[in-house]
């Protein structure tokens, strides 16, 4: 099985006969995010919004460095149906995550993946930062490993927000 990125969609492609492939869109995994206030939000509840899911850690220098751009992106698009969930990795001490979110005044949802189950569901994510962009229908459109090209990502967000 091969993952192929084509036409702004992740496609799961399987060989049928010879060089013929059958492809289907890859949906975001069903996940429940436990937020810092103890509440939860699921990927099902995020349907209808363009969503950025960012796996990060307070000990990750690239994660910390990209956070102002994630804040800026959220602030730019949130009034148009854009959501962001920053998922702290299981090895990140919860007190560090809370402190980071409070001192940086993170305006979006911050979740703690205490068990690692969320990272596992999202392609067994281990590297940080890893960011997924999900369309309104719940399909993964793009995965960024490392710091995204924010100019390119914002152009993609614009297109996804304009789509019906």
Phi, psi angle pair for 35, to nearest 5°: -85, 165
DSSP 113: -
State yes or no: pLDDT of 8 exceeds 60: no
Q: What is the mean pLDDT of residues 132-146?
A: 97
pLDDT for position 81: 96
DSSP line for 114-164: TTSHHHHHTT---SSSEEEEE-TTSBEEEEEESS--HHHHHHHHHHHHH--
Q: What is the mean pLDDT of residues 59-77?
A: 98
10 by DSSP, 3-state: which?
A: strand
Distance of CA 63 to the CA centre of its chain: 13
150-162 and 61-77 helices cross at what angle (nearest 10)? Answer: 30
CATH number of 26-162: 3.40.30.10
Give the pLDDT confidence of 10-65 residue by residue, as tens digits: 333 333 333 333 334 599 999 999 999 999 999 999 999 999 999 999 999 999 99
Neighbouring CB atoms inside 10 A of 147's CB total 14
H-only helix segments in 1-149: 43-46, 61-77, 94-103, 117-121
Where are the chain's structural domains? Answer: 26-162
User: Is 52 within 8 Å of 8 (Cβ atoms)?
Assistant: no
* pLDDT band for position 164 (cuts 50, 70, 90): confident
Give the pLDDT confidence of 88-125 residue by residue, as tens digits: 999 999 999 999 999 999 999 999 999 999 999 999 99
């Amino acid at each position: 099985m091969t993952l192929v990125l084509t036409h702004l969609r992740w496609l799961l492609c399987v060989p049928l006969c010879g060089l013929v492939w059958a492809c289907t869109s890859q949906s975001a995994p069903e996940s429940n995010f436990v937020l810092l206030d103890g509440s939860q939000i699921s990927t099902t509840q995020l349907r209808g919004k363009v969503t950025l899911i960012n796996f990060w850690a307070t000990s990750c220098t690239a994660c910390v460095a990209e956070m102002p751009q994630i804040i800026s992106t959220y602030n730019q698009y949130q009034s148009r149906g854009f959501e962001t969930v920053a998922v702290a990795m299981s090895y990140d001490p919860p007190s560090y995550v809370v402190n980071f979110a409070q001192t940086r005044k993170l305006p979006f949802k911050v979740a703690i993946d205490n068990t690692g189950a969320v990272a596992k569901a999202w392609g067994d994510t281990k590297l940080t930062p890893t960011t997924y962009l999900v369309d309104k229908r719940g399909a993964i459109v793009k995965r960024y490993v490392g710091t995204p090209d924010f100019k390119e990502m914002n152009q993609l967000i614009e297109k996804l927000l304009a789509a019906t």
